Amino acid sequence: VKLYTFPHLPNPRRVAIFLAEKGIDVPVVIVNMREGEHRKSEFLRINPRGKVPVLELDDGFCLTESLAICRYLEALFPKRPYLFGESPRRIGEIEMLNRILELELYNQLVISWRNGPLFRRYYPDTQQIAGAKEQSDAAARAFYREFDAQLQGRRYVAGEAFSMADIIAVTSIDFATGLLDLRPDDDLQNLWRWHSLVHERPSVRPAE
Ligand SMILES: N[C@@H](CCC(=O)N[C@@H](CS)C(=O)NCC(=O)O)C(=O)O
């Protein structure tokens, strides 16, 4: 197998944290997005959609989508820690949280990113939608408040054990803070307590 990635971007970082948590080593090929390598024909043969991460399997099959890659690896290494849950109840709960975080937080951040000033600077030819960033920024801020309330009395997003839901949440919030000027407010104490706890993990720390 081979992992095509560009570390520190939110989706590649999900896979990097997952691999570190599971203790799995995978050979890595860096696709330098700053140099536009993801849009060159060599990489488009690997993923015609021009996105990372991609896990190329030994038979040549290319698995895209960060969550699909992590699910595949969890199925391939069915041992602790189970980041997608072990019992049917935990699997269901973590899937629910993963979908909420992906659809209601991360997708909003992508809209803010695509319609924001940094994206305009990198891709001046892209059309942006007026008002879209303001709308998705507000949705993300509302999500942070709900997320903070849900973390009341909880160690991690899905309860006592660290899971894939923590990985999606921390990579999203760090992306929002670092590149979108959407840092959660200081008064969200549960969120920041959780964030510090998660950032103590060796798997999470390197991307700071
Ligand atoms: N849903 C996909 C998203 C992949 C994605 O959008 N990756 C970004 C980096 S975080 C990318 O490669 N963007 C390049 C582009 O859209 O041109 C996943 O979960 O892997």
pLDDT in tens, 77-128: 999 999 999 999 999 999 999 999 999 999 999 999 999 999 999 889 999 9
Determine the average pLDDT of the residues in 188-195: 98
Q: What is the pLDDT of residue 205?
A: 81
The answer to whether the CB of 7 is under 6 A from ligand 1 is: no
- Around Cβ 147, how many Cβ atoms within 10 Å? 23
**In contact, 83 and 118? CB cutoff 8 Å:** no
Q: Whose Cα sits closest to atom 13 in ligand 1?
A: 51
Helix (H) or strand (E) holding 113: helix 107-114
Q: What is the pLDDT of residues 12-63, one digit of tens each?
A: 999 999 999 999 999 999 999 999 999 999 999 999 999 999 999 999 999 9
Exposure class string for 93-122: b at 16+ Cβ within 10 A, else e: bbbebbebbeeebbebbbbbbbbbeebeee
Q: How far apart are CA 85 and CA 181, in angstroms?
A: 33
Give the atom of ligand 1 at the shortest distance from the alpha carbon of 67: 19
Q: Measured in angstroms, how far is the CA atom of residue 15 from the centroid of ligand 1? A: 12
Strand 2-5 to 54-56 pairing = antiparallel
Q: How far apart are CA 15 and CA 72, in angstroms?
A: 11
The answer to whether the CB of 38 is under 6 A from ligand 1 is: yes
